[in-house]
Structure 1
Amino acid sequence: MSGVSRYATYPSLRGRGVVVSGGATGLGAQFVTEFAAQGAQVAFVDVQEEAGLALVESVAAAGHPRPRFRRTDVRDLEGYQQVLRDLAADLGSVGVLVNNAADDTRHDSAGVDPAAWDAGLRVNLDHQFFATQALAPALRAAGGGSVVNLGSISTHVKLRDLVVYRTAKAAVEGLTRALALELGADAIRVNCVVPGWVMTARQLEHHVDAEAEATLDREQALARRVLPEDVARMVLWLAADDSAACTGQNWIVDGGWM
C-alpha cells in the first residue's frame, strides 16, 4: 500500500469550486492544501499576501491544481463581497464556501471600546454571513453546495480573555442554524465545525505553554493533540457529497474536551 493515503478521497470534490477565507496560514492553509489535493479548484483570501503567494506556489509545486489568491480584508464587507463575486466568476462554478477567517487575540474586557468590539465581530462573525449572502447565487446556480462555518471550542469551555471572540463564535452557531433553514430548499447545506485547541503555528508560538498543556492533558479524553489536518478532514467530509443529508449542525473536533 506504499504511496496510498490512509485517508479518504472524495470524487465529488474533484473539479469543484471551493472558496476559503483566511486561507494563507494556520487552519485555512491546511484547508486550501487538502482541497487542492482532492483535485478541487480552490480560491482563497487573506490579508497576509506574502504567506498567501507562498502557499499558492507550494500547492502547485506538489502537483495539485493551482489555487487563486486575492489579498482581501474580510472586515471590508462590501469590498469582500465583490471579491467573492469576482472569484466565483473566475472559478466558473462554486460548490463550497469555507468561512474560516478569524482573530482570537486575547484581551481584557475592560479595555474593549465600541470600535474594538465592532472590529472583533466583523473578523469573527459578520463576514461569515455576508460571504454566504454573496455566494448564495453561485451555489444555487451549481445546483446546491456546502457552506462550512468555523466556530470554536471557546464558546463551550472556560477560557478567559476572549469575550469578543467567544461572543462572535457563539453567534456563528446560531447563524449556521438560521442559514441552514433558509437555504435548504436550494440544496445548500450550512454546517459549523467547532475545533478544539488546534496546534497551529500561531497557537504554539503564542499560547501553548506548560499551563495550556496541563489543561489539555486534564480536559481532553484523547491523550493526543488536535492538529490542523484533523479539522480539515471534517471540513472535507462536510464539503463532499458524502454528507449530503447533513445540515444545520455543529461538528466538534476537540479530542473529547466537551
Structure 2
Amino acid sequence: MTRTATFHDLAGKSIFITGGGAGIGAALADGFMAQGAQVAFIGRSDASDFMAQMAEKHGAAPLFLQGDITDTRRLQEAIAQAATVHGPIDVLVNNAANDARHSTAELTPEVWDQLQAINLKAYFFAAQAVMQGMQTKGSGAIVNFSSISYMMGQAGYPAYMAANGAITALSRGLAREFGPDGIRVNALAPGWVLTEKQRATWATPEALAAHLEKQCLKTHLTPQDLVDATLFLASDSSRMMTGQCMVVDGGVVVTG
C-alpha cells in the first residue's frame, strides 16, 4: 500500500470493516493500520495469511472475527467483540458486497433475499450495532460502500443495483437522524476497481477498454484509490461532510 496521506486523528481509533480480509476490504484494513488505527473486521473465509502479512508489515495483526454478515446476530456479536477489545467503534466501514451477475427473468425470491441480505440488510444492522457507542461518545463516522452501477443504469444485476441505490438513501436518512449526536454517515460509490476477483472474473480486455472509454481519466481504478477516499471520510478532515454520496470512478458519472 502506498501511503499517500496521513490522517493523524485516526491513530488509535477503533475501526470495524465488513469483508476486511480480501480485495478492497483488505486494502482498507491495511490502510487504516498504516494510520495507527486499531482494526477489526468480519469475513467468512479464513484470513490467516492476510493476518500474518499485516503482522509482519505493521508489527501487529488486525482483529479477525470470522462470520457471515447475513447472520445478523453474528454480525452484531462481532461488532460487540471488537468494541470490547478496541473500545467502542469510532469508524464503521460497510464494505462487503456481492455483485454476482443475474438476470431479471431468472431471479428468484430466495436469491433476491440473499443478495439484499449481503448488499443492504447487513449495512443497516451493522450501523444499528455501532450507534449507541457513538452516541455515548458524541462522535463517529460510518462509510457505506455503494456503487456507480445504479447511477449508470447498468443491466445484468438488478438486485445489486437496487441495493446500492438504497445504500445511498439509507446513508442520507441515518445522517439526518444521528447528526445531532455528532455521527456522520456518508456513502462512497466506486467505479470499476480492478481487484484480483474482478480481473479473474469479468475484466476481459474488451470490457476493460470499453469501460476506460467511459472514464474521463484514462487509468483504471485500484483498491488504493478507495482507501484514500475512505480514510478522508473517516477522518476529521471531512468533519462537516455527512449525508453525501462521494463518487470515485475516474469520471464516468456526474453528480450534483
- TM-score of Structure 1 vs Structure 2, range by shorter chain: over 0.9
Unpaired segments ≥5 residues, structure 1: none
Q: Which residue of 1 aligns with 2:40?
A: 43
Most deviating of 77-86 and 185-194: 77-86
Matched residues in 2 for 1:183 and 1:90: separation? Answer: 25
The CA deviation string for residues 80-133 of structure 1, in whole angstroms up to 9 with x for no partner, is: 112211211121232100001100011122111111110000000011000000
Alignment counterpart, residue 87 of structure 1, candidates 78, 82, 99: 82
Secondary structure of the corresponding residue to residue 58 of structure 2: coil
How has the CA–CA distance of structure 1 residues 64 and 246 changed in structure 2, closer, same or farther, with 3 Å as cutoff?
farther
Secondary structure of the corresponding residue to residue 62 of structure 1: helix
Alignment counterpart, residue 16 of structure 1, candidates 4, 13, 17: 13
Most deviating of 174-183 and 139-148: 139-148
Matched residues in 2 for 1:73 and 1:144: separation? Answer: 28
Q: Which residue of 2 aligns with 1:28?
A: 25
Q: Which residue of 2 aligns with 1:151?
A: 146
Counterpart residue type for residue 45 of structure 2: Q
Matched residues in 1 for 2:231 and 2:180: separation? Answer: 22
Alignment counterpart, residue 108 of structure 2, candidates 107, 113, 129: 113
Matched residues in 1 for 2:205 and 2:197: separation? Answer: 16
The CA deviation string for residues 198-254 of structure 1, in whole angstroms up to 9 with x for no partner, is: 010000110111221122221000010011000110000011111110000011000
Q: Is the 8 A contact 2:212 2:220 kept in 1?
A: no
Matched residues in 1 for 2:246 and 2:173: separation? Answer: 16
Matched residues in 2 for 1:15 and 1:6: separation? Answer: 17
TM-align CA RMSD: 1.2
- In the alignment, structure 1 residue 253 sits paired with structure 2 residue 239: no
User: Shift of the alpha carbon at 1:7?
Assistant: 1.5
Indicate the percent of aligned positions where both proteins have the same amino acid.
37
Most deviating of 232-241 and 141-150: 141-150
Alignment counterpart, residue 142 of structure 1, candidates 137, 141, 164: 137
Matched residues in 1 for 2:137 and 2:88: separation? Answer: 6
Listed as ranges, the matches of 1:170-249 within 5 Å are: 170-249=165-244
The CA deviation string for residues 31-60 of structure 1, in whole angstroms up to 9 with x for no partner, is: 0000001100000001111xx222111111
Counterpart residue type for residue 223 of structure 1: K
- In the alignment, structure 1 residue 63 sits paired with structure 2 residue 67: no
- In the alignment, structure 1 residue 103 sits paired with structure 2 residue 98: yes
TM-score (norm 1): 0.95
